[in-house]
Amino acid sequence: MPVAVSAGGASFLLEVGAVILVLALLARLAARTGFSPIPLYLIAGLVIGAVAPPSIDAEVIVIESQVAVILLLFMLGVEYTIHEIVSSLRAGYGPSIADFVLGFSPGMAAGLLLGWEMLPSLLLGGVTYVSSSSIVAKVLDDLGRLGNRETPAILSVLVAEDLAMAPYLPLIAVLLAGGSLFKAAGLAVAAAGLTVITLFFAHRHGHVVNKGISHPKSEVVLLTVVGLLLLAGGAAELLNVSAGVVAFLVGLSISGSIADRSRELLSPLRDLFAAIFFVSFGLQIDVGAMVGVLAVAVLLFVVTAAAKLYTGWLAALRISGVAGRLRAGTALVARGEFSIVIAGLGVAAGTESALGPLAATYVLLTAIAGPLLTRYSSGLLTLSRRLRLTRTPAQPGASDAGPAGRAGAS
């Protein structure tokens, strides 16, 4: 006999349904304009939270957010092969180091200059450091640039950032919980070791995972992949290792036809949970508090956007011309899922009241400006050339981009 839904349960269904319909409208708008929907979801969460905050249990939001991160990072891992990852890491360690120094330092320095303690400053450093792999991948796909010469350089930076989260997130989680620095460092080293082991397993024995998942019926594949991800994510969290990073590594283990089927089956589910995840983060932010941190967020955006431009330029220096280097730099500007996860840890722990509003404002600025800068990078290059020509007489046969720079321009 069916169990009747209580009044509270019915209210919950109404609220969630209404929120999802709003997100559907925003997704339609994003699809029509060719713009990333993530900043729209964040804005929706801010508006809903300010006007009519839904009475959704905080524990539900935490669990849903965890599932969303797992699916986001898994699908990112599925996009690449372990061989691509290894070769990218070998080729791009120099730019990746520069990326960490130039990306992490401004956020940490800003926190300290604002009078924050070291822990929330470390969190803000993580927020400004890591680019949004999901936004970057979507923008490159939308613009047809996945096959461009500079794309492997972008990939090498993104992979290094995602893998850096393996030791960073457990380190921060232990410190937020009041654990000792020794314990936190130990878990960070263990997480890094687990990442290396998983990469090795994916490189040598990925076919075993493919064989275990493979089945003629899509239903079986879907249930197997989701169950595997949740089990791996839960075990990782018990060990204070990021479930998202583990999901990313599981995605790397899958290749061939199984990767294609996983992408087809899980993409809609990922998009649903991701949309709810981003709007849920917005729901937790005090819109009024964002006004007070706007100036700091804008300053951080300017400094770190310039840093990402330099990082992308450096990463693509040997494989692409001027246009490709500029495209690589602009592609890395956007921040998204990991920045929000990091800020969410600090907000949940109550470390610094201004961290959530500042992170939300900063992510909004980068998530909006990043795709725009990437889309119009060619126009920016043309404009800079025109400005330079007005100042300097043109030299016969002069050119600032070789064939590699002209190839793949879009």
The pTM assigned to this predicted structure is 0.76
Over residues 224-254, the pLDDT tens digits come to: 988 988 888 888 777 666 677 778 778 877 8
Tens-digit pLDDT profile for residues 181-209? 777 788 778 777 777 777 777 667 677 77
Four-CA torsion 193, 194, 200, 205, nearest 10 degrees: 160
pLDDT given for residue 140 in this prediction: 82
Span 122-157, pLDDT tens digits = 999 999 999 987 788 778 877 788 778 888 888 889
pLDDT of residue 50 exceeding 50: yes
pLDDT at 279 over 60: yes
User: Can you list the domains of the chain with their CATH numbers?
Assistant: 57-384 (1.20.1530.20)
> Helix 337-349 and helix 243-253: axis angle, to 10°?
150
**pLDDT tens string 98-118:** 999 999 999 999 999 999 999
Cα three-residue angle 299-124-238, rounded to 5 degrees: 160
Per-residue pLDDT band for 56 (boundaries 50, 70, 90) equals: low
Structure tokens at 8: 């509270």
pLDDT score for 147: 79
